[in-house]
Amino acid sequence: MKMKKLIALQVSCEAAAESFMGRNMLAYAAMMNAAEEIKIGRQAVVNEKNKRMAPPPPPHQISMS
């Protein structure tokens, strides 16, 4: 899924959660949880992309574990 669609989905979940606030707290919690999971997934994609684009570490910094 493209990043723009994920952002839109996250914002939609947050908006839906706000509409449930005070009336149905279980639905509010579920939508906020979904928004948080999307946010975590987006961050993982960004981290992986940054890791692939980073230059390899100098040979003396590579640890042999």
Q: Is residue 63 part of a domain?
A: no
The verdict on residue 59 lying in a domain is no
Count of structural domains, the chain: 1
**36 lies in which domain range?**
3-47
Q: Is 37 inside any structural domain?
A: yes
> What pTM value is reported for the model?
0.68
pLDDT in tens, 10-21: 999 999 999 998
For the stretch 22-41, pLDDT in tens is 899 999 999 999 999 999 99
The helix/strand/coil state of 47 is helix
Is residue 40 in some structural domain? yes
Contacts of 32 (CB under 8 A, 6+ apart): 13, 14, 17
Question: For the segment 54-65, what is each residue's pLDDT rounded down to a tens digit?
Answer: 787 777 766 665
- Cα-based distances in Å from 21 to 9, 12, 13, 38: 19, 14, 12, 20
